[in-house]
Amino acid sequence: MEKVEILAPAGNMDCFRAAIKADADAVYMAGKQFGARAYAGNFTTEEFIEALNIAHLHDKKIYLTMNTLVKEQEFSAVKGFLKPLYEEGLDGIIIQDIGLLKYVRDEFPNLALHASTQMTITGSEGALWAKSMGVSRVVPARELSLKELSRIKADTGLEIEAFVHGAMCYCYSGQCLYSSFLGGRSGNRGKCAGTCRLPAYAYDVRKGLKGVKSTKEEYDLSLKDLCTIEHVGELIDAGIDSFKIEGRMKSPEYVAGVTYLYKKYSDLYLSGRDSTVTKEDKWLLSNLYLRSSVGTGYYYTHNSADMVTVKDSSYNCKSEEAEKYVRNNILSKDVLRSVNIIADISVGSSLSLSIYDDEGICVSITGDIVQEAHNSVINEEELRKRLSKLGGTGLVAADIAVNISGNPFIPVSALNELRRQAVSLYIEEAIKKYKRDHSENNGSDEDQGFDPIGPNANNKSSIGVSILTRNQLDIVKLYSFDKLYIPFDLIYKGDINEDELYELSRNYSIYISLPRIIRLRDKEYIEYFSDFARRTDCITGVLVSSVDGLNTVKELKLKIEADSFLYASNIKAVEVLSKLGIKPTAGLELSYYEIMDLKTNNMVIPIYGYTPLMVSAGCVAKLKGDCNMKRYGFDYDIKDRYNDSKHVFINCLHCMNVMYNSVPTSYHKRLENFKNYGYDLRIDLTLEGRDKCILVLDYFLKGKGDAPAKDYTTGHLKKGAE
């Protein structure tokens, strides 16, 4: 690799200029809409265009972050927001929403598409699916190892952008509903409240909280910040194309200092020189922004108790001395493009000024006829001094040639105006190659023929039940309904055998649920599933929760349903899935009326279930020194600062945790509405024991009893997530 891109964050214009001064190769930033850092300053359209022109003058790139879920009523604003940036030469766009991905691909075909880490791509299958959608670069999940990143690179040929420095989320990005359900602020909408940074105490439910004085003294979900400055060579060798620095909410000093250091040590390594990080640079990096401590994230370990801060989640301080160093040594310097200037000044001819560079760009401009001087001789040195005044333009004059004929008189104002015009013309010419025209007819022909199925009261609503445990199956099979969702984990572990599956298929359409997260470590598991699915005829379909799962099952002759974490928040997203023969599930952050906005009843509504708030590679049992690699169940709870307990499903089969809400989400008050509109309904059983299963199933399947839970939430059904 000849070069690795250093990709810096910018939350405002000061941070953008800091990134450029620190020699970032590219900057990622958001407009006032659709960005995953809604509380950063972000950029107006005018500011963004100014930044694009500055970046392109210095051969830098800017990537727009539109890495949030877009609701249908917001979609009409996308084109007006994106069109001027596209025309001004936007270099790429980082996207989470699969509907937005398709729209941008079709409407703005020359714009590079980058799959956001919010898309939760965890392997080659997910990356290949993104590639089929026109993506040229993926930002994989931050939980991946170097081996996994290298594998994606080798299997797909896509550019790999990976975080190398900054804050870390506890949950797989794009899979978190914790902030959303706790306070209404969605991380999928750019408004994460940082709930994993708040006090949280994990404990074994069988032992309880005996002897624990206060659960508010621990931060069991707060990860240490990422710092890989001492490993840049290994990351480069792994095939990472772009080193991404987290921090759109941070200061210009942080942006400049961190960018400068990663650029420095990447260049040293690539040039074959000693890239050992000095003591002084380590000090600078650690003093620009301090949490409690830092680590190397998931690059070298799947999970570890050492990755969690535990006793202190907060931002502590920053060093004024470190910031002063950055201001004096990085921010004080201007980034300038070298040009040459020629002035031709001849009495009786037009004043002429030319600016050119070593790249072959040359512009010339002429002014008024030069008059002969009667009282004074022109000062050649003064002319050069005035022509060199390029401050604030981003240019510097490397050489100035002045050709004088006769005894000319030149008003200072005329010379200054000509210089300003020439500089403006040169800059316009230098960045012209980035500009684009946007045709009003860019839409793809693929758009023709998609007709969302409108609400139809005559459509029959089917109902399905999803289980998590073998014990739940023993209760469920006593009831009559349409679809039975069974985790393949139960088959893989031998809790359900093939003979029993055939017997169940006599009464139900069997759908196999794949894990929320599929990693390279699951290769044998997925191969077993694929072989099983091909040789048995008792399976009707499969439920997938990620683009990795989607691509894994696409060749199987099974019906496919996308769970709610394969977000379908707008009609375009529904279109993407529907054209692939996939039935979407309504997202848990949509309101009733936002679901209606999708204008289709070809969708599954999760009518009841404990909402999975987070799925993580981290493990609370391992954090507590209690890892036995054999767990498959709700052994641990997490008590938050309100003394509310969330329930953690520890799945050692895939080495991941899923944290569920303390109360179920139930749409039972809208049950008849969804039935009348012909939606498929699904009951998700998770931590329910025998009695609770009966209560829930009696209510939804037999119409018996009161509400299925005394304590419950309707989630975002009333007004939707912000």
Nearest CA-CA partner of 577 in 563, 589, 590: 563
Residue 454 confidence (pLDDT): 55
What whole-number distance in Å separates Cα of residue 88 and Cα of residue 90? Answer: 6
Using the structure block, give the residue that is written with the tokens 């895939």: 654
Q: Which residues in the chain show pLDDT less than 70?
A: 1, 35-41, 290-292, 314-317, 440-458
| Close Cβ partners of 176 (under 8 Å, ≥ 6 residues apart) | 169, 187, 188, 192, 613, 614
What whole-number distance in Å separates Cα of residue 383 and Cα of residue 395? Answer: 18
What whole-number distance in Å separates Cα of residue 475 and Cα of residue 488? Answer: 19
Q: At what angle do helices 146-156 and 124-132 cross, to 10 degrees?
A: 40
What whole-number distance in Å separates Cα of residue 257 and Cα of residue 229? Answer: 12
What whole-number distance in Å separates Cα of residue 501 and Cα of residue 449? Answer: 38
Nearest CA-CA partner of 560 in 530, 585, 582: 582
Cα 396 → chain centroid:
38
What whole-number distance in Å separates Cα of residue 584 and Cα of residue 438? Answer: 32
Residue 445 confidence (pLDDT): 45
Q: Which two tokens stand for residue 71?
A: 């609701």
Residue 693 confidence (pLDDT): 97
Q: Which two tokens stand for residue 127?
A: 């990356």
- The percentage of the chain sitting over the pLDDT mark of 90, rounded to a whole number, equals 82
CA angle at 275 for the pair 272 and 280, rounded to the nearest 5°: 155
Please provide the distance, in angstroms rounded to a whole number, between the alpha carbons at the two ends of the chain.
43
What whole-number distance in Å separates Cα of residue 687 and Cα of residue 664? Answer: 10
Amino acid at 650: I
Pick the CATH number of 5-193+219-331 from 3.40.50.1860, 3.50.50.60, 3.20.20.70, 3.40.1080.20: 3.20.20.70
Which residue blocks in 493-612 are alpha helix, DSSP H?
498-505, 523-535, 547-553, 571-579, 592-596
| Close Cβ partners of 122 (under 8 Å, ≥ 6 residues apart) | 140, 141, 143, 144, 148, 172, 517, 518, 519, 546, 548
pLDDT tens figures, 115-173? 999 999 999 999 999 999 999 999 999 999 999 999 999 999 999 999 999 999 999 99
* H-run or E-run covering 666: strand 665-666
Number of Cβ within a 10 Å radius of residue 669: 11
Q: For residues 485, 490, 492 and 495, what is the CA-based torsion angle, rounded to 10 degrees?
A: -130
Look at the domain 457-609+666-702 and name its fold.
TIM Barrel (3.20.20)
Range(s) of the chain covered by CATH 3.20.20.70: 5-193+219-331, 457-609+666-702
